[in-house]
A = this chain, B = another copy of it.
Amino acid sequence: MSRVAIVGTGHSRFGRRTDVNVGELAFESVKQAIDETGVGRKDIRNVFVGSAGGWYEEPLPAVVVGEYAGLSGAGTMRVEAACASGSAALKAAYNSIVSGDGEVAMAVGVEKMTEVDTPTSVELIGRAGSYMWEFENYGMTFPAYYALYAVAHMNRFGTTEEDMSRVAVKAHHYGSMNPLAQFQKEITVEKALGSQVVAWPLKLYDACPLTDGSAAVVLASEGVAKELTDTPVWIRGVGYSSDTANLSRRSDYVGLSATVEAAKRAYSMAKVTPQDIDVATAHDCFTIAELMAYEDLGFCKKGEGAKMIRDGETELGGRIPVNLDGGLKAKGHPIGATGISMAVEITKQLRGEAGRRQAPTRNGIGLVHNVGGTGHYAYVTVLSRN
């Protein structure tokens, strides 16, 4: 099978971006990615736009993004897998090149979430469970879904509220070193533990914010990648899977089976094991989600996620540093952009361009983990310098 590399990256500032509309916001990343790659616009055969939509005024973001960036004429589609839409766009772009449909493709993720008021936000996110049954009938909102998982994990494995707070503290620590992050201030375990309860045991600092932002990558076939850059980062494996829309039909609430299956597929395709991963991003929409991800991705055994954060194994200097960009929690979570943003972070880590946040990358292998809904979708991507 032909190989595909990330050859260019772009990333907007994340946060409340009332200064731009959705086309302009995407353009910030698209322009950087094109400039970094040095590729001509006409050479970009296909453009895949990851965006969940519903939060902002344009219902056809793909063509709006394309027009503003001077990419009209390319093959274009929008791709949606809830909060994993960015990873889905990356996968679709990867497939387009492997299947012979052009040598260069772009994946752009964009979301503009802060224009709507808070009740609307609660509804829009809450609908991303099973709307008809669990949101409409039972009034479940998104924190409530993840609170179910948190309670089950606490009950089964002895995970504590303090363990979850530690995830938030780590996120804010690295967010403070990321000039593109929405939150760039440190917090303490005490501050996190004392913050307002949203859906017990989850508190304000257990939850990621609503965010405006974009990210973009340019992908190229092996031959073209080597012409365009000396530091290609190869997409070695992509796994994706799905689970039921209704949480009530899940087998348990201590992990996401879609993540387990997606990881299995990605590791198999990349021919690596979890022990080979130097650095990772994990989908920490809530702090409990990051702890479950450690387990579901095979970084530790089931039930030992909390031990990893207690022992500092996922910090810089630890065994597998996770979310050195601040994660969804501190960097922010513009849902269509997040998967691409994660790929940008791991690409920079593997190129040795992460500055103060640089992890050692002995094996040259990194991992991106991106979840849609509460495990409705999961995408795992393995990136590699070789």
Binding site for B on A (CB under 8 A): 1, 21, 46-47, 52-54, 57-60, 62-64, 66-67, 71-82, 88, 91-92, 94-96, 98-101, 124, 127-128, 130-132, 136, 238, 240-246, 249, 258, 261, 372-373, 376-377
Contact = CB atoms under 8 A, between A and B. Distances in A.
A80 to B, nearest CB: 4
30 contacts: A46-B240, A47-B242, A54-B54, A54-B59, A57-B136, A58-B127, A58-B132, A59-B82, A59-B127, A60-B127, A60-B376, A62-B242, A63-B242, A63-B243, A63-B377, A66-B242, A67-B245, A67-B246, A73-B243, A74-B242, A76-B81, A76-B377, A77-B80, A79-B92, A80-B80, A92-B95, A94-B99, A95-B95, A98-B100, A101-B238
Contact of A73 (B77, B78, B242): B242
A63 B244 contact: yes
Instruction: Indicate the member of A71, A76, A82, A376 with the most B CB atoms within 10 Å.
Output: A76
B242 A76 contact: yes
A115 to B, nearest CB: 12
Given A63-B377, A72-B243, A77-B81, 6 more contacts: A54-B54, A58-B132, A58-B245, A67-B245, A74-B242, A95-B99
A76 B244 contact: no
Nearest to A21: B132
A258 B124 CA distance: 33
Nearest to A4: B99
A240 B75 contact: yes
A76 to B, nearest CB: 4
Given A98-B100, A241-B74, A261-B73, A63 B376 contact: yes
Q: Copy number of this protein in the oligomer?
A: 2
B64 A245 contact: yes
A350 B167 CA distance: 58
A54 B61 CA distance: 14
B100 A81 contact: no
Contact of A82 (B21, B60, B95): B60
Which 7 residue pairs across A and B have the least CB separation, nearest first?
A98-B99, A76-B242, A75-B240, A95-B95, A78-B80, A77-B88, A63-B376
A96 B79 CA distance: 14
